[in-house]
Structure 1
Amino acid sequence: MKKLLVLMVVLISALLVFGEEATSTTLPGTTVVAIVNGEEVTLDLLNSQANINGLLVKISEVDQTFFNVLTNTDEGVKLLMRYKRAVLDQIVDKLLIVQFAEKYGVRPTDEEVKQFVDKQISDYLSSQGIDEDTFNMYLQYANMGTLKEFKEKLFFDTLVNMSIKNLFDYASQDATVTDDEIKAYYNENIDKYSTPTQFDLYVLTFTNETQAKMAKDKVASGIDFQTVANEFNLGDFKFENIAKGQAFPDKLWEYIENAMVGAILGPINVDGTFYIVKILEKIPPQVKEFEQVKEEIANELLSNKKSEVWSKFIDEEFAKFKKESQVKILYTTE
């Protein structure tokens, strides 16, 4: 009940803050706050993206003093207005991306976006075992607005994301990689497709030298490592496919590298820790054949080429489109 009362106070404060500004509560949601190449941005979209009420609730939970400054002083209100203006600038940039996609014939249709959004929400409701009414209640309790408002926000975000994906596919559709490029990359990065010498080991670790010597005598007499490990209440002692630099200090690896398969080493003192080691197997370095990694390399190179083409496309073509666009901001922070 206390949390609910706090929430009500916060929301009422938010309404009082924005009740005096012409761009929030005294104008309908269909009020146009910006025009981008003839396409209107409404107050509803700005409010859903800025989500001032939800933001204020979160701030009040973290710092009540900061919340009071934001909602009860002229400076705080102006800061919130500047925040909304910054959000509007982001909306304009996103809408320009959508329009840029339209220029190349790859802007998703409203129906495509709606179907995607509806499916995402439907799948989520099914996975949670709830209906739309319950979800609507959850959203409002979490200060995320109504389900209708949530869908509208998700619609715009999805429109932007689908536009970006479609533009990327369009711009990079001609990117290719040749067999010569793949082979050259393989030869230049052969270490990337090589594995160093690897070892299978038994390693018993002690902090007491006397116990380490007793364990060494037991395994040397033929008692298996599992039995010895159990007797001294040791944990994992078998290590497979490990290479120099892994799991153990470099000083211990110097002994391991120079030992023969089957050798039992120790106790080896490394900074007060005593090791008993048996070399089970030594696996020589291996290099993957070109055909084994050809597809992996091709995918990596193609991805890199597409990214390069995309970056150039955005830096040159989108920058030009944005510069030539007509943007009129009707929202004011004054």
Structure 2
Amino acid sequence: MLEIMRENASGWIVKILFAIIIIVFVFAFGMSGLAPTGDPVLATVNDQVVTRAEYEFAYQRMAEAIGRSNPNVTSAQLQSAQFKQMVMGELISKKLLLGEAEKLGIGASDKEMIEGIAAQSMFKDKKGAFNKNIYQAALRSIRMTPAQFEADFKQEIIIEKVKQGVGSAASATPAQARQLFDWVGEQVRIDYIQVAPKDFMDTVTVSNDEIKAYFMANQERFTAPAQVRLRVISFTPDALAKFQTVTDDEIKAYYEANSKLMQQPEQIHARHILVMIKDSDSDADKGKAKAKIEEVLKKAKAGEDFASLAQEYSEGPSAPNGGELGWFGRGAMVPEFEKAAFDTVTGDISGLVKTQFGWHIIKVEERKDASTQTLDDVKDELRTKIAQEKASEKITEQLDQAMDRLISGMTIEEIAKELKLEAVTTEPMPALFLTQIFGLSPEAAKTVQDLAVGEAHKAPIAVNGGYMLVEKVEDIPPTLMSLDKVKSNVVGSIKKQKCDEMAQNEAEKIHAALTGTNAAKAAKTYAKRIKTSKPFGRQGNVAGLGQSKPLTEAAFSAEDTAWLPLVYTMPNSVLVVRLNERVPASEDAWKEQKKFWMEQATQNYRKEMLASFMDELSKNAKIDIVQPEVLQ
């Protein structure tokens, strides 16, 4: 079982646990004195037991901590065997370390425990002093008594002492730290020949037989998912606002009380062209970037269309939209960019602007001066806002009234009619999209999806901004769309597939020529197509080409500048690649960061020692999972 847990200690769980390690350290583990007498034993670790209550408590604390730090984690992930085994693995590790501490005579005093708790920032007031009220409130929020928390905290001190004892003798040498720094900081350039699938698009044809065959072979792609129609009464400020009365006097009073909010700051509408550079770029690359932006500025000043220039030359994310930045006010952009933009006359083009991202050229399209909105300008907006505030105060009352009627057997339509509310029957919607459409939790969406036709859920369901009562009107099963409706998509998919294959074949043909018996001749043939990338690191994001883990690993593993043995598929092309040069980590950066890398290397060394120590403990321990079904 321990081997399974170790194998599963990866992927999203490890990333999440790493992100919340401090929270878990303080709140997630330990059950001293919590489990009642006779509580079922879930596992034994040597002469110690892990009770069912202890496991459930640790599971709940860890799930809550993960939920707070990572809202996108689903309940399915937290209920998976992988996560349950992770929780059990942490509890077993804790038992092993506490057992080792007892053998070594390692303990913790009340004074250490009190000082440790008092040092926790979460229990301090604004002046930085420990606050008993904050402490007690924090424990209440996680349903722990001070006695439980303090006992657990003392155990954590003991465990930390064991860990420190294991790693205390480990200290990295400057050579080891430099090795780590060099490995992380090294970059490479590659030479490459790029073959783009889009270049073959005009040569590709698709027959009717191919269209029919593809459609039949990929029916799941062209099947409309199961859909539902619902009848709902929404209890949200937006839904109930239409039933509220708002007088002109209320609007005027609100306007006068919030006059500062009616001020509209100065704004400009602009476009820009960006040529990116980084501090780590070589002087040669920086010079090329400066020359490129100067040439583009000449074209812009000569009257060429700015949006077209942005699409062709800009390296920023707004390039496909012609450098469009929309409207923005002061404080929205980095200072250098903001000053240049607001100093540029409407309709004019700025000079070169240098920021942390590179070189910019800015064109100011329009400008709005600072102004104060009049009452007439915002009257309708304020009426809606006040109505929503009034509705917000009545949600609970109206929901209670509706629930009384629902429980008594009234239908959703009858309830809406009696309470003068609105029952809305939705258009058919994919059942899978209930979470996005209504803002439901995955559990609530499944509850709605599982309703029988004509059945109303007997409890309010939380949605964005409030609640709703819901009744299922219709279930629509998955339906295969007609070929006529999806024909263009089918054709596009087939063309892409063919173009990808043609690009792959062409790249492999070029590769074979460059590495074959007539490699010298091929090198001359393809010399003009060879390009050189900017330096990139082991994370593998190659500027202008995208990311490929296999390409990155191959480039950093290359021993010479021969063409690599494979071709590599990138997001929009296939590459034939060779190593151009290795760019070592900066000597100046090493001098500045030596202390940090010494600490980092030492931490890594100590983690390795602790992992080895824990492996040894687990190998020599008698561990029995008494109820393995709980972890499935």
- Where on the TM-score scale, by shorter chain, does this alignment land: which range? 0.3 to 0.5
Higher helix share: 1
TM-score (norm 2): 0.27
TM-score (norm 1): 0.44
